[in-house]
């Protein structure tokens, strides 16, 4: 088996999904549901891989457009965060604005429909690339947070762990002048804020004064081997793979389609826009996620 270790690698900012001559046809949700329900009936026990498109209706934006291009500045890189005090100032300063939006986000119908698929016995494991914990809040029991969870913070020196809310409150107390800013929000709780952060005071580890970082896998970092192996074990034991709301531009998610193809697993994608796995999957549905899942569940009942 191939190595389980890999770095989270986005495509370059200028790179889009492969050009295809004909325009991508949009499926009517009812039509898409007919095909998806048939796929699930044939392959009733699936591994479900979800991406940012599942959480957009919760007010958490995604990173990319329908062609796979960045809709905002690329997220912070792990090496840059760890190596630069100024970049940590900027990240935590922007998070002071962005985190409350993540904090208030609630599961949307898509999260609840995926939970219903699990309750009906159609999901062996939900592997999510999102860090918002909304699947768990919607009631899904078997969830793997592939890229970690944004609601917890980890000391990179001593391993101290605490809630994101605690660090947010400390940063707010240290930097009251930053609370008045408003900005667009990124899927990891970052914000599109371009101001002078040189006076921003960082909250450090209360145990060792070390670097605090959200317990998420930043771009350029590695997904822990154990998480990858858990997902691969679930995929191997499943009847197929269903990808929902992901363009699969990040290799940590795309790799499961590669393995699925190698293991001859039936695969389907439900996404608003193209995916990186166009040539690998058996069923490609370009349709609104919530409406399609709702109609699919109606047919499966």
Q: Which residues are annotated as a binding site?
A: 155, 158, 205, 208
- Determine the 3-state secondary structure of 57 from DSSP: helix
- Determine the 3-state secondary structure of 29 from DSSP: helix
- Calculate the CA 216 to chain-centre distance: 10
Q: Which of 43, 135, 147, 168 is catalytic?
A: 147
Which parts are annotated binding residues for Zn(2+)? 155, 158, 205, 208
Whether 58 contacts 106, CB under 8 Å: yes
Q: Which one, of 140, 117, 113, lies nearest residue 128 by Cα?
A: 140
Q: Cβ–Cβ contacts within 10 Å for residue 263, how many? A: 12
Per the annotation, the verdict on 147 as an active-site residue is yes
Whether 274 contacts 17, CB under 8 Å: yes
Q: Which one, of 99, 71, 46, lies nearest residue 216 by Cα?
A: 99
Q: Which one, of 194, 291, 256, 286, lies nearest residue 46 by Cα?
A: 256
As given in the structure block, the two tokens for residue 272 are 């608003």
Whether 142 contacts 118, CB under 8 Å: yes
CA-CA-CA-CA torsion sign (26, 31, 33, 36):
negative
- Burial zone of 126 (CB within 10 Å; 0-12 exposed, 13-18 middle, 19+ buried): buried
Cα distance between residue 69 and residue 14, in whole Å? 7
Whether 152 contacts 164, CB under 8 Å: yes
Q: Which residues are catalytic?
A: 147
């Amino acid at each position: 088996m191939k190595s389980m270790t890999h770095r989270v690698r986005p495509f370059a900012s200028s790179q889009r999904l492969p050009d295809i001559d004909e325009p991508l046809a949009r499926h009517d949700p009812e039509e898409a549901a007919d095909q998806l329900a048939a796929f699930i009936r044939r392959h009733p026990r699936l591994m479900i891989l979800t991406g940012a498109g599942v959480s957009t209706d919760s007010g958490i934006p995604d990173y990319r457009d329908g062609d796979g291009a960045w809709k905002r500045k690329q997220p912070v890189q792990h090496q840059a965060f760890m190596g630069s005090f100024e970049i940590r100032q900027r990240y935590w300063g922007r998070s002071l604005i962005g985190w409350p939006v993540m904090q208030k986000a609630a599961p949307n119908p898509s999260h609840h429909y995926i939970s219903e698929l699990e309750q009906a016995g159609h999901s062996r494991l939900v592997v999510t690339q999102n860090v918002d914990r909304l699947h768990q809040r919607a009631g899904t029991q078997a969830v793997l947070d592939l890229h970690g969870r944004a609601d917890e913070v980890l000391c990179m020196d001593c391993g101290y762990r605490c809630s994101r809310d605690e660090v947010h409150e400390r940063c707010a107390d240290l930097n009251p002048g930053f609370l008045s800013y408003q900005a667009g929000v990124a899927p990891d709780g970052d914000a599109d804020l371009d101001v002078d952060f040189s006076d921003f005071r960082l909250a450090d580890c209360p145990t060792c004064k070390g670097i605090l970082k959200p317990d998420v896998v930043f771009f350029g970092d590695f997904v822990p081997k154990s998480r990858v192996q858990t997902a691969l074990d679930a995929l191997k034991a499943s009847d197929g793979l269903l990808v929902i709301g992901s363009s699969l531009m990040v290799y940590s998610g795309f790799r499961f389609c590669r393995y699925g193809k190698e293991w001859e697993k039936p695969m389907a994608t439900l996404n608003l826009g193209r995916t990186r796995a166009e040539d690998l999957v058996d069923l490609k549905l370009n349709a609104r996620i919530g409406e399609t899942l709702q109609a699919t569940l109606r047919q499966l009942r």
